Structures are given as C-alpha cells and as structure tokens.
Amino acid sequence: MNQPDLTAQSVVKRFGDHVAVDSISFEVARGSFFSILGPSGCGKTTLLRMIAGFLAPDGGEIAIGGRSMRGVAPNRRPVNMVFQQLALFPMMSVGENVEFGLARRGVPRAERRRKAEAMLERVGLAGAAAKRVDELSGGQRQRVAIARSLVLEPTLLLLDEPLGALDLKLREHMKIELKQLQAEFGTTFVYITHDQSEALVLSDHVGVMNHGRFEQIGTPQDLYYRPRTPFVAGFVGDSNRLAGRATGIDGDRVRVDTGDGWIVEARRAGEVASADAVEVFLRPEAATLSRPGEASAAPAATHEGVVESLLFDGAKSAVLLRERRSRREVRIALPQTGEFADLKTGEAVAFHFDPARAVCFRARRDGDA
C-alpha cells in the first residue's frame, strides 16, 4: 500500500558536457500530486522525458509501480503523458482521440466506444465524441488530452506544463479543475511547471529544481514558510531579498547589516557565522505597516520608509517603499482591512516584522548562483 508509484535513484542525464539532470533521487507516493518546479532550462523536461521513456538515463534507475523501467519503451510503460501543446491528433475526432490508446491494446470497438464516452462524460464533455478537435475551446482540448490518457488507467500521469498555452483566466480555472480531476480519479500525477503558483495550488509535494538538482522537496507550505536554500526562498512566492553581512548571531537569530546603514534581524537557516555575507528573504505579507508616531506595541524593531508607489491588485495589493536610511526598495502587502486605503505616494510610513518570519542564508558564492 505504501509502495511509491514512482522512484528515481541517482538519475543522471548528460548532453555532451552539459549535465541536464544531475543525480536526482525522489519518490512519489501513490495517488499524490507531485510537481517539479523550476525555471526553464533547469532539467525538468529532461527528467519528465526520462520517466515517459523518450530519453534513456545515463545513470541511475527509474521504477514505476515498483518495476524498473530500464530498457522499457514508452509504448510499454504504465505511464501516459499530457503534452505541452496537448498533441491531440487533428486527423481524428475527439472520440477517436480518446479511443486511440484502447485500440492499441486491442479493446473491441464497442467497449472502446463505451469507455471513451464514459471518460468524456467524467471530464464534462458528454456528447463531444463526434466533434473535431479544432471545434473545441482551449479548456475543452485540455480535458480531452487528460481523458485520452486517463482512459488507459495509467499508474502515473505526466503533465508537461499543460496550462502554459492557455490565457490567464482559463489557466486559473483549469488549475482548480485539474486538482478536482486528480482527487476524483486518484491517479498519481507528476506535473512539471515553471509557475510557482500552479505548483503551490495543485500539489501535495513539490520538488524545486535548479541546475539539474532538487534544491528542496516538500509540501507547498514547507517550501513557502521553511525554504532550505536561498534559491527556493527567492523562487517560490514573492520575497524582498536583502544582501548584507552578518554582524551578530544569537541562537537562530542573525543580525544583518545591509552595508548602507540598515540593520535587520532574521531567522538563521543553515550555517551562518558572524561576518559571513548573507541574504535575507522577507515575504511582503510578513511585514506590518503602521503610521509613524502611532505607538507600536510590536516587540520587534520598527523601520521607516517613504511610499514609492502603490500597487493595487485587489486582495494582493501591495505598496513599494524606500527604506529611509538604505534607500532600498521594500515591497509590503497591504492589509485587507482597508486601513491603508488612503495611503499616498511620498507619505512617510513605518513597518516592522517578526524576525522569525524573515529568513537568512549564507550568500551563495560566485559560480553556484
């Protein structure tokens, strides 16, 4: 029962001198939604293509459903893939697209048709079997692509940035739909994306990939609140990044001097010694605004700044400040209470944050950026 559906052990793939996937190991539990998140060129597509069987690893082992996939061709793997551009067959009807895989398995025509229609109904496309692919909207095509794979009841469904081609509104909608489909079918999904919001919203676990390696694998909450590397802190969610030097360490508190007159305190992550070059990441919503002069009951240090610009975006509205001494730009989320609705550009404000919610890493050295 607890056997993982996908296991990768020290998987390596090189293209010439370039190591695209650098000794990666991970497991995906049965029925879970696992995302591989990373910037373009981080090796996530290469990894996915190795799982699908289109590329052979140069080293290491991939097992699906407990069975080693070494030497198993893509058409013999218990894996199906939803392609980036969906790759629906334009020369076939919607129904024929869904039946394609069943026909390859020798399922009789009548049963094929019944299964395809049932599957189309489950993805909300009842009666669309006779339509041509180009008669469908973007979202409907998406569902056909998923139906075409799921009708084969694969152990694993791979999704290669399937929402990339959709417009924003539809993407938001399909995100929710994908999550519901996954929950309903209970199939293990492995999803690759460069969009951190997709990964956070959809996944049970996310692996953040950079330069062919996983920087961190964890739940979305882990990645967001407890990033283990500066890359994860910077890549997942919005952050204010402050470079500086550690001037004092007290347990897991680090006192950081930004070098231009601003002193902040943050939580230590990993090894940080006094006088190290460090990076501090502060989430916009971790800081609290206040009007200057208002007696702040906050135990933390208060910082001062001037409003540079207001970024109104409904619930995600924020304000860009210039910190008074360092002149550094800081982004702070506006509270939902409407308290600062009358904030003006050029106005002086104060802000404070709990040092436990700002995270401090030793700076990456040149070359391992």
Partner 1 sequence: MPDAAVAATGGSGWRKALLMAPALAWLGLLIVLPHAELAVLSFREQVGPRHYVPSLSHYREFFHEPEYWHTFVRTAWMSIVATSATLLLAFPIAWVIAKIARGRAAAWLFLACMIPFWISETVRTLGWMILLRETGVLPTLLVKLGILAHPVEFLYHDTTILVGLIYTSMLFMIVPLVSSLESLDNALIEAAYDLGANGFTVLRKIVIPHAAPGITAGCIIVFMLTLGNYITPTLLGGKDSGWFTEQIYTEFITRFDWGQGAAFGFLLLVLSTTIVIAGLKLTGQRFGDVMGRQ
List residues binding partner 1 (CB under 8 A). Answer: 52, 54, 73-76, 79-81, 83-85, 87-92, 100-101, 104-105, 148-149, 152
> Could you tell me the smallest distance in angstroms from the CB atom of residue 34 to partner 1?
19
Identity of the residue, 69 or 334, whose beta carbon is nearer to partner 1 in the bound complex: 69
Measured from the CB atom, the residue of 49 and 205 that comes closer to partner 1 is: 49
* Amino acid, single-letter form, for residue 70: R
Report in angstroms how near the CB of residue 44 gets to partner 1 at its nearest: 17
Least distance in Å: CB of 80 to partner 1? 6
The residues pairing with 6 across neighbouring beta strands, listed in sequence order, are 28, 64
For partner 1, give the closer residue by CB, 15 or 54.
54
Contact partners, residue 157, CB within 8 Å, separation at least 6: 79, 80, 81, 82, 146, 149, 150, 187, 188, 189, 190
Q: Shortest gap between Cβ of 154 and partner 1 (angstroms)?
A: 10
- Give me the count of residues in the chain: 369
Cβ closest to partner 1, residue 187 vs residue 196: 187
Q: How far is the CB of 31 from partner 1 (least distance, A)?
A: 21
Q: Residue 74 CB, nearest distance to partner 1 (Å)?
A: 5
By C-beta, is 48 or 254 nearer to partner 1? 48
Q: How far is the CB of 192 from partner 1 (least distance, A)?
A: 15
CB of 86 to partner 1, least distance (A): 8
> CB of residue 91 vs partner 1: minimum separation in angstroms?
4
Nearer to partner 1 by Cβ, of 36 and 360: the residue is: 36
Residue 104 or 114: the one with the smaller Cβ distance to partner 1 is 104
What residue has token string 């095509």? 141
- CB-wise, 76 or 132, nearer to partner 1? 76
Whichever of 54 and 312 has its CB closer to partner 1, that residue is: 54
SS (H, E, C) the chain: CCCCCEEEEEEEEEECCEEEEEEEEEEECCCCEEEEECCCCCCHHHHHHHHHCCCCCCEEEEEECCEECCCCCHHHCCEEEEECCECCCCCCEHHHHHHHHHHHCCCCHHHHHHHHHHHHHHCCCCCCCCCEHHHCCHHHHHHHHHHHHHCCCCCEEEEECCCCCCCHHHHHHHHHHHHHHHHHHCCEEEEEECCHHHHHHHCCEEEEEECCEEEEEECHHHHHHCCCCHHHHHHCCCCEEEEEEEEEEECCEEEEECCCCCEEEEEECCCCCCCCEEEEEECHHHEEEECCCCCCCCCCCEEEEEEEEEECECECCEEEEEECCCCCEEEEECCCCCCCCCCCCCCEEEEEECHHHEEEEECCCCCCC
